[in-house]
Amino acid sequence: MKRLAAVPIFFLVWMAFQGAAFAQSYPTRPIRIMVGFTAGGGTDIAARKLAERMQTLLGQAMIVENRPGAGGAIALQVTARAEPDGYTLGVGSSTATAFKIFNKDVTLDLQRDLIPVGKYALGIGMLVVNTKLPVKTVPEFIAYAKANPGKMAFGSPGGTVGLALEAFKQQAGIDMLHVQYKGAADYATALLADQVQLILDNPSTQQGNVDAGKVRFIAAVVKKRLANYPNIPTVSETLPGWDYIIWNALFLPAKTPKAVVDRLTRDMKTVATSDDYKADTLKWSNGGYEADWGAPEDLEQDIARDTKRWADLARAAKVE
């Protein structure tokens, strides 16, 4: 019996030795990063900026591959099916926690099929109104909406943005129509035409219209005030707990050796917390993104929280 019991112990020691040896030599060839959106967009650029700096630390090229489709699900599915050797990573965002709500064909499970490496950036959102509306703050907007029940509308592309704005409406206790559009350009145009009175959009997209006096930022939809917009309050200052956080993170296939995950996490943290990366992120995105490091354990909590949140909101909104 004693001899038989020693076999698995020896095996575990041997496996640990093999994993450590592999990690010491890793990486020995280029690493792929799968991005689920087209080249040139914010998610793509943020990933490329991260890769440029990480590859210097790793000593191997990090190559971004664009695999757009299914709201980013295709790239993460490719990542999940890849060999768990640390040479294929995928970019995921908080919207990935709602894949199954809006696309029943997606079988990917973030918590089962992937391992978090860490968060590196936040996509920033603002609540934006047409300047024809006599409001400049969230409290003023809520008061105006309550005084005009059923006469106002908000536009969205559906998905998590639509759910977040439905939650805003419910928490504020206001009666507004939800108009769904095919994309951001459509609902932004509708706002300019005063066909809808409220949208949630990236500040860099709307800054030109703000400068022209056509639209107005009334609140940021993040947890704390933004570095580029310190005078714009957050929605949560009026409605505690309400936010719309779009985190960007890197994932590895499940069963990737821990030593490899730890190496990538360490180098990723070095980049994401550097003053250079923080400043460059604000610069290239014109305030539309901020560097924001989050350790794997923090990301796991975010995934669990967001998965539950979107599921609860979808049930409340009766999303089929």
pLDDT in tens, 55-113: 999 999 999 999 998 889 999 999 999 999 999 999 999 999 999 898 888 889 999 99
Q: 10, 33, 32, 14: which is closest to 22 by C-alpha?
A: 14
- pLDDT tens, residue by residue, 102-159: 888 888 999 999 999 999 999 999 999 999 999 999 999 999 999 999 999 999 988 9
pLDDT for res 8: 55
Place domain 31-123+245-317 in its CATH homologous superfamily: Bordetella uptake gene, domain 1 (3.40.190.150)
Domain covering 126-237, topology? D-Maltodextrin-Binding Protein; domain 2 (3.40.190)
Q: Sheet with 62-66: list strands edge to edge.
A: 62-66, 31-35, 88-93, 246-253, 114-123, 289-294
Give the pLDDT mean for 275-299: 94
Judge whether residue 12 has pLDDT over 50: no
pLDDT for res 318: 78
- Is the separation of the CB atoms in 68 and 76 below 8 Å? no
Categorize the per-residue pLDDT at 4 as very low, low, confident or very high, splitting at 50, 70 and 90.
very low
Sign of CA dihedral 48, 50, 53, 54: negative
List, by residue range, all CATH 3.40.190.10 domains of the chain.
Answer: 126-237
Compute the mean pLDDT over every residue in the chain, rounded to the nearest whole number.
Answer: 91
| Residue 6 CB neighbour total at 10 angstroms | 10
Q: Give the CA distances from residue 243 to residues 53, 164, 316, in Å, rounded to whole numbers and listed in that order.
A: 30, 8, 17
Bridge partners, residue 90, by sequence: 34, 251
pLDDT for res 294: 96
Judge whether residue 13 has pLDDT over 50: no
- Is the separation of the CB atoms in 232 and 217 below 8 Å? yes
* Percent of the chain with pLDDT strictly greater than 70: 92
Query: b/e per residue, 240-255, with b = 16+ CB within 10 A?
Result: eebbbbbbbbbbbbee
DSSP element (H, E) containing 149 = none
- pLDDT tens, residue by residue, 182-211: 877 898 999 999 999 999 999 988 999 999
pLDDT for res 182: 82
Give the pLDDT mean for 209-227: 94
Distance, in Å, from the CA atom of 6 to the CA atom of 210, rounded to the nearest integer, reads 71
Give the pLDDT mean for 15-40: 79
List, by residue range, all CATH 3.40.190.150 domains of the chain.
Answer: 31-123+245-317
Burial of 233: CB neighbours in 10 Å, binned 0-12, 13-18, 19+: middle
